[in-house]
Chains A and B, each alone.
Chain A
Amino acid sequence: MDAAEQEPRYALAGTIGHDDAQRPRLMGGLCVQCGAKVFPKPKICSACWSTDQQDLALAARGRLYSFSIVHAARKGWPSPYAIAYVDLEDGVRICAPLDADLSQPPQLDIAVELVVGRLRTDGDGTAVLSHRVKPVQEAR
């Protein structure tokens, strides 16, 4: 097995990190000058033009703002699949594939958490991974 096979292929290079507990985290940028939090990490802050940008592990939880179940997908995408806008707890909105029972779609505004999973398969048969979100299973 060579290195290329061991390294997962991500849809968005450099956006998946891990915290101390080895849980996956979505990586964005923190502007050192003005504090803006942005996903994905920019080369320059659109607010203050600072190029001093730090890696930032974005909030692992958020609120399901809206979603759609996509039936007419682009070529090469397995359908149906669900795609969502999620408002992370740190004020950043992300677009993310949604893991949900498509026959019983979730309600809006429920809590969701970040996971990493398969997005699609590339032409060469390699799985392409991405951040995803799934409904939080609340403890009772």
Chain B
Amino acid sequence: MRKVAVIGASMGRIGRYPDMMFQDLGWPAVKGAIEDAGLERKQIEAVYCGSAYGGRLAGQRALRPLGMTGIPVVNCENACSSGATAFREAYHAIAAGRYDRVLVLGIDKLSMLGGGVLPGQPEDWEVDVGLTMPALYAMRARRYMHDFSLTREQLSQVSVKARRHGALNPFAQYQKPVTLDEVMAARLVAEPFGLLHCCPTGDGAAALVLCAGELAAQSTTKPVWVAGAELTSGLYVTGYRDITTAQITERGAHEVYEESGISPQDVDVAEVHDAFAIAELMYYEALGFCKKGDAFQLLESGATSVGGRIPVNMSGGLLSKGHPVGATGAAQIVEVIWQLRGQAGARQAQGAKVGLTHCTGGGIAGLDHGACAITLLKT
């Protein structure tokens, strides 16, 4: 296995752009990442594109305006983990020696679907009796609040922190801080969640250029190395299951820490999949940042805020930066690349050397999630 470096990263501001064509969301990120890597487009040997709702040939459609045709384009769908799945496939292709320079694109345009909750998966029996994604996470939240005496006020602090970070990020969909009172009083979506406990739907694209380690110095003096890229799927359980533990994430984290030789204590900055407020707390625990049941204490201590010991979701996370589903994994990696290069502006985590990205999702009855992708990056 060869070492693999990330040498280019780019994304646009996430938002709702119903009047923008899908391809026009995508190509600026691609062009930006290739220019950031100091490469010519002809040097890209293959493209891996993650998209959940983009339909057929999402990658080709975004690449066509740039004349990047005639190369292998692999389109990856894995719900919220689509972009991170594409990244992982690109990483393995380079590590195995198949290609030297590869582009990863994550892209989705959720405004095409209209507003409100995302459509459910046809033929899913839980969806057919009324389960929605917010309701699924809301049930996790209610059980967690019951089992660990978490209050709705405490849960709401997750959203306050996310918006505080997002206000520092020019690429975030929401750049306005919110107060605890605003979170508590927002209109209800799926109790205990109000609107501000839920990520928005949005449109966006993010792109990365990866290369074989020995070629990195030709592009940059600041390569970021891929230390591990883990992908797993949820276990099918038909009986009782503890939904306060993010089991798929716990398992994936264990594998990626082992693969990379990095431990949770080594992580300086992390982007985790806070699609709903409870998720961030559950993932602190599943990723090993704290013990089971201690997540709120970790949040309250300031450890996961800007300036803390392990800043989480400096970008604002899904709650504030936004969640263009298939783009999210790539956007998280772009943020961590910027953090590790010291290019994150007002939201910079000082001296960060090791970064983690985590995304998981996809509602599918019997599985806690469809997919989970965790990436470890280091300077």
Interface residues of A (CB under 8 A from B): 11-12, 36-40, 46, 65-75, 77, 80-81, 83-85, 87, 91-93, 95-97, 105, 108, 119-120, 130-131
Contact = CB atoms under 8 A, between A and B. Distances in A.
A93 B117 contact: no
B143 interface: yes
Interface residues of B, number: 33
B131 interface: yes
Contact of A96 (B129, B241, B365): B129
Nearest to B187: A71
23 contacts: A11-B128, A36-B238, A38-B238, A46-B238, A65-B143, A67-B139, A68-B138, A69-B190, A70-B189, A70-B190, A71-B190, A71-B191, A72-B134, A73-B132, A75-B116, A83-B131, A85-B139, A95-B126, A95-B365, A97-B129, A108-B143, A119-B130, A130-B129
B124 to A, nearest CB: 10
Given A12-B125, A66-B143, A72-B116, A92 B130 contact: no
Interface in B205-246: 236, 238-241, 243
A36 B191 CA distance: 33
Nearest to A81: B130
Interface in B130-187: 130-132, 134-135, 138-140, 142-143, 146, 187
A72 B189 contact: yes
Contacts of A73: 117, 130, 132
Contacts of A131: 129
Which of A67, A77, A85, A131 has the most chain B CB atoms closer than 10 A to its own CB? A85
Contacts of B239: 91-93
Nearest to A96: B129
A80 B190 CA distance: 9
Contacts of B134: 68, 70, 72
A39 B142 CA distance: 24
Nearest to A45: B238
A65 B242 CA distance: 9
B120 interface: yes
A139 to B, nearest CB: 26
A59 B254 CA distance: 37
A91 B240 CA distance: 7
Per CB-CB distance, the 10 closest pairs between chain A and chain B, nearest first, are A68-B138, A66-B139, A95-B126, A66-B143, A69-B191, A71-B188, A68-B135, A72-B189, A68-B190, A38-B238
Which of B120, B130, B143 has the most chain A CB atoms closer than 10 A to its own CB? B130
Interface of B: 116-117, 119-120, 125-126, 128-132, 134-135, 138-140, 142-143, 146, 187-193, 236, 238-241, 243, 365
B278 to A, nearest CB: 11
Contact of A108 (B116, B119, B146): B146
Which of A66, A84, A92 has the most chain B CB atoms closer than 10 A to its own CB? A66
Contacts of A65: 139, 143, 240, 243
B187 A68 contact: no
B238 A66 contact: no
A108 B221 CA distance: 56
A11 B348 CA distance: 50
A40 B12 CA distance: 44
Contacts of B125: 12, 40, 95
B238 A93 contact: yes
A25 B117 CA distance: 31
A125 B190 CA distance: 26
B190 A67 contact: no
Contacts of B119: 74
A66 B241 CA distance: 11
Nearest to A29: B238
A71 B143 contact: no
B129 A95 contact: yes
Contacts of A120: 130
B241 A93 contact: yes
A72 B140 contact: no
B242 to A, nearest CB: 10
Contacts of A119: 129-130
Contact of B240 (A36, A70, A93, A97): A93
Nearest to B236: A46
A75 B192 CA distance: 21
A10 to B, nearest CB: 10
